[in-house]
Amino acid sequence: MRKNLVTGLKGRPRADLEEAYALFPRLKERRLNGGGALSGGEQQMLSVARALLGRPSVLLLDEPLEGLAPVICDQLMQVLTTLKMTIILVEQQIDRALEFAEQVIFLERGRVMHQGSVADVSADPALMERFLGVDLIQSVA
C-alpha cells in the first residue's frame, strides 16, 4: 500500500507521505499491507490520498462513495471538506453531495442543463424532480 502512495509523490520526498497519513490515519495503520488487502473504503482513501500527494489544483471525483459503508462515507467526506481546493464531485448520494457542495450543475448528455447554488436548488425541489427524478425533501429526510 505504501508503494501506491509513493507513486503519488511525483518526486517529492518520502517524508511527505505524512500528509496522506494525517488526512487518513487508517492508511498509516495499514501502510505495510498490500493494496489488495484493504477494504473498499480503505482503497478509496488510498486513491484520494495518492491523488492529493501530487498537489493538484483541481480534484475530480467520480462517485467516490459508491459501495462504501456509511461510516466510511462520513470519514471520506469529512476529509474532503477540509481541503482548500476546487473539487468536482459526481455523486449519486444527493444528500451528501448537497451538504458538501457550493454549486450544483445538472448535466444531460454532456450539456449543462442547469447551474446554480446549493441554496437555489434546495429552495426549488422541482429542479431535483425535473433533472434527477428525486424528491429533495424525501431524499434529505
The domains found in the chain, sorted by start residue, are 2-91 (3.40.50.300), 102-141 (no CATH)
| In contact, 5 and 49? CB cutoff 8 Å | yes
* pTM for this model (two decimals): 0.83
What would the pLDDT profile of 65-107 be if each residue is shown by its tens digit?
A: 999 999 999 999 999 999 999 999 999 898 899 999 999 999 8
Band of pLDDT at residue 36, cut at 50, 70 and 90? confident
What mean pLDDT comes out for the span 46-54? 96
Of 103, 64, 63, 79, the closest CA to residue 27 belongs to 79
The DSSP call for residue 126 is H
Question: How high is the mean pLDDT of the chain?
Answer: 90
In 15-115, which residue ranges form alpha helices assigned H by DSSP?
Answer: 17-23, 25-29, 40-53, 70-82, 94-100
Query: Cα 38 to chain center, whole Å?
Result: 18
CA distance 5 to 89: 22
